Amino acid sequence: MIKLKVRNLSKTFTMHNLGSILIKGFEDISFDVKQGEFLSLFGPSGMGKSSILKSLYRTYITTSGDIFYAIDSKHTINISKASESEILALRKNEIGYISQFLHVLPRISCVNIVAEPLIEKGESENSAKEKAREMLSYLSIKEELFDISPLTFSGGEQQRVNIAKGIIAPKSLLLLDEPTASLDNHNTQKVIDKLQELKRSGVTMVGIFHSKDAMEQISDNIYDLKEKTLCKL
């Protein structure tokens, strides 16, 4: 089943503080992603990779084109034209987004942050926290940091907490914006291994990687934004 179908997608930004000049973000983007596949967006800086991900999540409203998301075999929604209430429901139940930056409230412990998505799905607090500890340990977060706010952590540690939060209760479609940018090779490989597990469970993913090796390991297909071509690995 094709989970995500993007057709002729374009985005132009209006810079109101610069005399309303128009800046092209990306244009005429088209690709399909099947359920359980990982598609990587590839291209030089400035080609609009992150802007495409934000458009799929509807953080950005596109200028033209369509984003068809299959909730199941009988129900499809056009993200680019959906209402705000529909988008909120998709984000709650269907689509997750992981960036390289951690955005959380202060004074909330690392374990509570990672356990929250499981609790929202109905899991007990004790069970969710136990699974959160296991995930944090897997991603090399020291046990003595579990009950501390991650806002005090290093950049790499914060990124691992962010990844843990994003994958512990994965949605059907996961969008990843350079999730391993601040990680060393060892922890990058651990993240790739977890993403491989998610693929095997049927999670569909679209992502950006700064590491060519990581991108080639996880990707089923790579979309070249410069050539507007799909390369199957």
In a domain, 135, yes or no: yes
The verdict on residue 108 lying in a domain is: yes
Give me the pLDDT at residue 22, please.
85
Asked whether residue 113 is assigned to any structural domain, the reply reads yes
DSSP letter at 19 equals T
Q: For residue 9, is it left (φ>0), alpha (ψ between -120 and 50) or beta?
A: beta
Contact between 188 and 166 under an 8 Å Cβ cutoff? The reply is no
Question: What mean pLDDT comes out for the span 57-78?
Answer: 96
Q: Is the pLDDT of residue 148 over 90?
A: yes
pLDDT of residue 215: 94
Contacts for 137-146: CB closer than 8 Å, 24+ residues apart: 138/190, 138/194, 139/163, 139/164, 139/187, 139/190, 139/191, 140/186, 140/187, 140/190, 141/110, 145/110, 146/109, 146/110, 146/111
Structure tokens at 10: 């374009």
Q: Which residues span the domain enclosing 113?
A: 103-169
Mean pLDDT of 67-80: 97
Strands (E), 71-203: 76-78, 95-98, 173-177
Residue 201 covered by a domain: no
Residues ≥6 apart with Cβ < 8 Å to 42: 49, 215, 222, 223, 224, 225
Examine residue 107 and state whether it is found in any structural domain, yes or no. yes
Question: Is 218 among the domain residues?
Answer: no
pLDDT score, position 228: 87
Per the domain annotation, does 139 fall within a domain?
yes
Q: pLDDT tier at 233 (50, 70, 90 boundaries)?
A: low
pTM equals: 0.94
Predicted local distance difference test score (pLDDT) of residue 182: 86
Residue 61 forms part of a structural domain: no
Are the CB atoms for 97 and 172 separated by under 8 Å? no
Answer whether residue 20 shows pLDDT above 90.
no
Q: What is the pLDDT of residues 85-107, one digit of tens each?
A: 999 999 999 999 999 888 898 99
Q: How far apart (Å, rounded) are the C-alpha atoms in residues 93 and 172? A: 8
Total domain count, the chain: 1
pLDDT tens-digit map of 37-64: 999 999 998 899 999 999 999 999 999 9
Is the distance from CB of 55 to CB of 43 less than 8 angstroms? Answer: no
Q: Name the average pLDDT for the chain.
A: 94
